[in-house]
Amino acid sequence: MNSMVFGRYLPVDSFVHRLDPRLKIGALLALLITVFFDAGFLGYALIGLFVVVALILTKIPAKMVVQAVKPMLIMLLFLSVFNLIFLHTGKLVAKVGPLSIYSGAIFQTIYISIRLVLIVSLTTILTASTKPLDMTLGLEHLLSPLKVIKFPVHEVAMMISIALRFIPTLVEEAQRIMKAQASRGVDFNEGTFKEKVFAIVSLIIPLFISAFQKADDLANAMESRNYNPEARRTRYHQLHWRLADSFVLGLIVLLCGTIIVMSIVL
């Protein structure tokens, strides 16, 4: 668990780090949708080039990308095997015993792999370059039009930011409890089914108790400061839209537009 890198903030200063979180969230959404438009290999090459440049600009080490993609490999393998066995479009390429492999299946598999790698890389760029609190602030801004239909934008943003804030705390807590129980002879890796159940119980119960305790403390702290979600509040931390943001926005509109047009025309 120590080496979990997917979704973690990378504390460096870079061009992408300085971009407005509203832009980054919006761009991620637009790009994620665009990835599913099939504009052939040329389209993916375009997005791929964009992603590589963005990764370099975010100063994300190649190692970190590899580690983020690694957990997806099993899923990828699974999908590929299913595709190769069951998808029968295109030309027959090879026949291995009872198995016939078609060109359509091969292309489909390659497409899926490319899409997954792109999706993971794009998400990593957002999470690595945006502090959780900036992320919720950006989200709150983007959702604020929904206030018109009485959607509790502020409350939802607050909930998300608290949840994000506590993920690392809970992961740390879980590691601590696992170590404490391992010191009492619990083996989290091996053992019979019954032993495994016991091991999990010895982790889950203290973890829940501590999570509830923390939630309670936080609620008390907020109440004693008279927190009221409906109160009008100003912000210490303001978002600033800069020229670079407009430039990147233009670039992304151009990229997504091109690919969508390509996919329709082709």
Partner 1 sequence: MSITFKNVDFIYSPDTPFSYHALKGVDLDIPEGSFTALIGHTGSGKSTLIQHINALLLPSSGEVRVDDFIITATDKPSVLKPLRQKAGLVFQFPEYQLFEETIARDIMFGPVNFGMPEDEARAVAAKTLEMVGLNDTYMERSPFEISGGQKRRVAIAGILAMDPDILVLDEPTAGLDPQGAKEMLRLFKSLQKSGKTIIMVSHDMNQVLEYCDHVVVMNKGRIERNCSIDELFKEKDYLSSLSIDLPVITAFINDLNSQGFHLDHDIKDIETLVKAIGGELHE
Chain positions contacting partner 1, by CB under 8 A:
2-3, 5, 8, 10, 12, 61, 63-64, 67, 173, 176-177, 179-187, 189-190, 201-202, 205-206, 209-210
**Minimal distance, residue 179 CB to partner 1, in Å:** 5
**Minimal distance, residue 205 CB to partner 1, in Å:** 4
Instruction: Indicate the residue among 183 and 238 with the shorter CB distance to partner 1.
Output: 183
Rg over alpha carbons for the chain, rounded to the nearest Å, is: 23
**Minimal distance, residue 95 CB to partner 1, in Å:** 43
Q: Which of 248, 247, 257, 265 is nearest to 34 (CA)?
A: 257
**Minimal distance, residue 3 CB to partner 1, in Å:** 6
Residue 130: other Cβ atoms inside 10 A: 23
Instruction: Indicate the residue among 136 and 202 with the shorter CB distance to partner 1.
Output: 202
Structure token pair of residue 200: 């999990």
CA dist list (Å): 71 to 3, 76, 117, 185, 250: 12, 9, 11, 29, 33
Instruction: Indicate the residue among 103 and 169 with the shorter CB distance to partner 1.
Output: 169
Instruction: Indicate the residue among 5 and 259 with the shorter CB distance to partner 1.
Output: 5
Instruction: Indicate the residue among 81 and 209 with the shorter CB distance to partner 1.
Output: 209
At a CB cut-off of 8 Å and minimum separation 6, what does 192 contact?
A: none
SS3 62: helix
Instruction: Indicate the residue among 85 and 197 with the shorter CB distance to partner 1.
Output: 197
Residue spans of alpha helices (H) in the chain: 15-18, 21-35, 40-57, 62-86, 103-129, 132-143, 153-183, 193-224, 243-265
**Minimal distance, residue 185 CB to partner 1, in Å:** 3
Residue spans of alpha helices (H) in 94-152: 103-129, 132-143
Distance in angstroms (rounded) separating the CA atoms of residues 39 and 35: 9
**Minimal distance, residue 64 CB to partner 1, in Å:** 6
**Minimal distance, residue 50 CB to partner 1, in Å:** 23
Structure token pair of residue 226: 């008279």
Cβ distance 25 to 138 under 8 Å? yes
Instruction: Indicate the residue among 42 and 66 with the shorter CB distance to partner 1.
Output: 66
